[in-house]
Amino acid sequence: MKTWQKQMADPVAHIPPLTQAAREEVSLVVQQEIDLQDIHARNGKFGGTHILPGGPDPERMVVLTEEAFEALLITALERVNQAVNTGIGPNGYQRTDDLYDELIQVGAVAEAWAAAILEGRE
């Protein structure tokens, strides 16, 4: 089989899988974010919107979408800023640290929501 045929059969063969250590670290940080959001909500932050104890799914979707939108804005604005300020093309995009934080928040909201479904919470 020729190289291009192998690539067609397995288009991600050249990409190494994520390490177990990295996946475990992200899982731990997501769980810490869930705990932090729980503390903030119990102290009156978020105007009563809370991802853990309950609430209708449409309200949870608003929270998840808001977090995902923040991640989207970071990537889009950073690409534009870098292109305008440094003249780099789309392939020269450099990720900012803020994106990691926003993705952790997306993961925390999604994980808490999924856990609430498993627990049968409204």
Higher-pLDDT residue of 77, 28: 28
Q: What are the boundaries of each domain within the chain?
A: 23-42+50-118
pLDDT at residue 45, rounded to an integer: 79
Concatenating the DSSP letter of every residue in 65-119 gives HHHHHHHHHHHHHHHHHHHHHH---GGG----HHHHHHHHHHHHHHHHHHHHHHT
Stated pTM of the model: 0.77
pLDDT at residue 32, rounded to an integer: 95
pLDDT digits (tens, 9 = 90+) for 34-77: 999 888 888 877 655 556 656 788 888 888 999 999 999 988 88
101-to-19, 65, 68 alpha-carbon distances in Å: 20, 15, 11
